Amino acid sequence: MAAGDRVVVVGAGVAGLTTAVVLAEAGASVHVIAEQVPGVTSLAAGAMWGPYLVEPKDKVEQWGQRSLDIFRRLAEDPDTGVRLTSGIEASRTAETAPDWATTLPGFRPCEPAELPDGFTSGYRFTVPLIDMPSYLDYLLSRFRNAGGLVEHRRLTSLSDAAPASVIVNCAGLGARDLVPDPDLRPIRGQHVVVTNPGLTEFFSEDTGLSPDLLCFYPHGDTVVLGGTAIDGEGGLAPDGTAAASILARCAEVEPRLTQTRVLEHRIGARPTRAKVRVEEETREDGTVVVHNYGHGGAGVTLSWGCAEEARSLLSVK
């Protein structure tokens, strides 16, 4: 790509905004077009760094590690919404720790006395927690400071984004119709945001592929409680029964969570496919499209690694 070429990034979720920042800071003239600014799925994330419901393993490791390095640096500035936080991932069965956790700072197996009732194994480590509303605001202002433009608009096809030298498709679940990509499916997730009764550590249960998750992530004055993972469902209306179950599951592990006030329900549909898609395609009309979508339950975790790979496909250094 030549300097000054116009790149259109479709999407203003964590994938689109991170890619837009990376390209704009490399000197490209970048224009984001998105129906929602920021994307609601990204706003709904917890968010903890760590792979979940995402493939392929080798690329996920590479993209995740690159993002981890950057999140660690961002955590030095509290205005980014990123904080390094210590906590526990535990299981009700005897599980070995996932590979991705063992290299994190402070990693160690828990003593039995550290585990909540009913849990038999667990690990403590320190990891980036990302307060998504603050973080997406930070990405937006970093993008605008690099000269980027944002336009609120729904596209009915990728060619609606013209004129552009290159289109970068970060439409999340929207790629199902825009590409079109029938392999993309929603996995609905719900979080309940409550006032923080004094928690400073996260907790997450290893629930495998269960639709009922148990996690809580403190973000200063608030705590995000999770969650659900309903495969094939993309509806975004809050489910009161699911919210009550989330509160009950979390309060059973952390009784202080009975002393909270519900502030908000956040619902999103994880854009899931067999493999994350980061690749270049020349369309029938000759338009060059770089795809960056399908990040499942790990779009925040992979965001910087995938954005940099998209940049290298465009040959913007």
Ligand X SMILES: Cc1cc2nc3c(=O)[nH]c(=O)nc-3n(C[C@H](O)[C@H](O)[C@H](O)COP(=O)(O)OP(=O)(O)OC[C@H]3O[C@@H](n4cnc5c(N)ncnc54)[C@H](O)[C@@H]3O)c2cc1C
Amino acid 161 reads A
Nearest to 224 by CA among 264, 256, 186, 181: 264
Query: Binding to ligand X by residue 271, rule CB under 6 A?
Result: yes
Nearer to ligand X, 162 or 255 (CB): 162
Query: Binding to ligand X by residue 214, rule CB under 6 A?
Result: no
Q: Of the candidates 178, 179, 306, 307, which one interacts with ligand X according to CB under 6 A?
A: 178
Strand positions, DSSP E, the chain: 6-10, 29-34, 82-91, 108-109, 121-130, 149-152, 166-169, 185-195, 202-205, 212-219, 222-228, 230-231, 262-282, 288-295
The torsion angle over the Cα atoms of residues 293, 294, 298 and 304, rounded to 10 degrees, is -20
- Rounded distance between C-alpha atoms, residue 36 and residue 125, angstroms: 34
Nearer to ligand X, 259 or 279 (CB): 279
Site string for ligand X, 219-238 (x = CB under 6 A): --------x-----------
Nearer to ligand X, 139 or 314 (CB): 139
Q: Of the candidates 9, 21, 42, 139, which one interacts with ligand X according to CB under 6 A?
A: 42
Query: Binding to ligand X by residue 300, rule CB under 6 A?
Result: yes
Nearer to ligand X, 122 or 271 (CB): 271
Query: Binding to ligand X by residue 140, rule CB under 6 A?
Result: no
Nearer to ligand X, 54 or 314 (CB): 54
Please give the DSSP secondary-structure letter assigned to residue 44.
H
Nearer to ligand X, 17 or 314 (CB): 17
Taking only Cα atoms into account, the Rg of the chain, rounded to an integer number of angstroms, comes to 19
Nearest to 69 by CA among 312, 311, 303, 241: 303
Q: Which two tokens stand for residue 227?
A: 């969650």
Q: How many CB atoms lie within 10 A of CB 118?
A: 10
Q: Of the candidates 5, 25, 35, 233, which one interacts with ligand X according to CB under 6 A?
A: 35
Query: Binding to ligand X by residue 19, rule CB under 6 A?
Result: no
Nearest to 302 by CA among 57, 98, 26, 66: 66
Stretch that binds ligand X, among 46-54, 85-93, 103-111, 137-145 (CB under 6 A): 46-54
Query: Binding to ligand X by residue 301, rule CB under 6 A?
Result: yes
- Rounded distance between C-alpha atoms, residue 202 and residue 253, angstroms: 11
Query: Binding to ligand X by residue 122, rule CB under 6 A?
Result: no
Query: Binding to ligand X by residue 34, rule CB under 6 A?
Result: yes
Give me the least distance between CB of 228 and ligand X, in Å please: 7
Query: Binding to ligand X by residue 14, rule CB under 6 A?
Result: yes
Q: Are strands 222-228 and 185-195 parallel, antiparallel or unpaired?
A: antiparallel
Interface contacts to ligand X, rule CB under 6 A: 10-16, 33-36, 39, 41-42, 44-48, 154-155, 170-174, 178, 189, 191, 227, 268, 270-271, 293, 295-301
